[in-house]
Chain A
Amino acid sequence: MMQSRTVETTVGVFIALGLAAIVVLAMKVSNMSTLGSDDGYQVSANFDNIGGLKVRSPVKMAGVLVGRVSEVSFDDETYEAVAVMTIDAKYVKIPEDTTANIYTAGLLGEQYISLDAGGAEDYLQEGSMIEITQSAVVLEQVIGQVLFDKASGDDEE
């Protein structure tokens, strides 16, 4: 048996290595470092159709991640989808008349909310609602539209 001091030291090194590996997995591999999602303010927006938007989908302005979708629900009065976004506390100067669009990253990628800044003097605050929204493009609808246009075009000839 080795000296108990050496054993204790190597065990200490082992535990430190294990914890360091967990920290590496947290910081370098997963998204713990990119956004502290808790500190921020919440803004909601109503959409006719949110497509494939999910909780934790990104919210971007000018392509930069400014927040994440924190809740998706359905309003049975207006029959619209309500998406609540948590905007990072760093970005407090987003105009009140900002528009929200749902876009797709790439052709088949994940969907995200893109905010386009308006020109109002007042800024969005905790609990504000984004009035002007544009729904997700549903691929099936687009294909249907194209086929329909083509069919009606053929009739006129």
Chain B
Amino acid sequence: MIQALGKMGISTFGWLGRCCIFLVYVASGFFIALKNWRDLIAQLYFVGVLSLVIIVVSGFFVGMVLGLQGYNTLVDFGAEESLGVVVSLSLVRELGPVVAALLFAGRAGSALTAEIGLMKSTEQLMAMEMMAVDPLHRVIAPRLLAGIIAMPLLAAIFSAVGVYGGYFVGTGLLGVDDGAFWSQMQAAVDFNGDVMNGIIKSIVFGFVITWIAVFEGYDTAPTSEGISRATTRTVVNSSLAVLALDFVLTAVMFD
């Protein structure tokens, strides 16, 4: 019993330590990754462009649902003109960064883990080391960097599309006044306070998700079972990390 506890503690701290040392090594390769910009662009395509469809479609639907639900509540108070405020603030502050991050974890994070895990199990990473090419700098660093760049862009697209989804439902179907929708929204949403904080959030989420994804891939047991477990862990852990960090960041940024 005590032994099991000790074993768990040692393995947990060992894992944490490996995580952080890994991050430091990878971060030292960011300049190399920037110099090999073609690699970076290929990774941006992989994590960014290929996630675009799911982000746009779900952003539009989330915006439309917010429009419907917000309208049903607000109309009781005769305040349906505030629909724009409800839709835009909830998207820009919370739903944009968080839902986009959860989708990103499922779409791009799992793919990254599987890709790197397979590279490890087919000994590609080891082969690179044999040729004196550091796989952390050449393989992992551009992927992490691409995740950090792509996430805020995806979250911004999600929010913008969602606002138009809410606009479409609110003014198109439910008859909210067009001018009031935009003007109340513009009066209530602050660029520095709301939009920028949402972008900061999504940068942090992009960093954490990609970090977890590439580390799980790199740290996986090089078997098919190990890779499947690592992929599951990536999605579960990064989703939990996003939700927990969201609470912390919200508490810090919006007082």
Contact = CB atoms under 8 A, between A and B. Distances in A.
Contacts, number: 87
A29 B153 contact: no
A15 interface: yes
B156 A4 contact: no
Contacts of B194: 30
Contacts of B52: 14, 17
Interface magnitude class on chain A: 20 to 34
Nearest to B191: A30
A152 interface: no
A11 B156 contact: no
B153 A17 contact: yes
Nearest to A32: B191
Interface stretch (B12-20, B37-45, B129-137): B37-45
B195 A29 contact: yes
B158 to A, nearest CB: 8
A21 to B, nearest CB: 4
A15 B92 contact: no
A21 B49 contact: no
B92 A8 contact: no
B100 to A, nearest CB: 11
B152 interface: yes
B231 to A, nearest CB: 22
Interface string A56-69: 10000000000000
20 contacts: A8-B38, A8-B41, A11-B41, A13-B49, A14-B48, A14-B49, A18-B152, A18-B157, A20-B160, A21-B153, A21-B159, A22-B153, A25-B156, A26-B191, A28-B186, A29-B159, A29-B163, A30-B189, A30-B194, A33-B186
Interface of B: 38, 41-42, 44-45, 48-49, 52, 88, 92, 150, 152-154, 156-157, 159-161, 163, 182, 185-187, 189-191, 194-195, 199
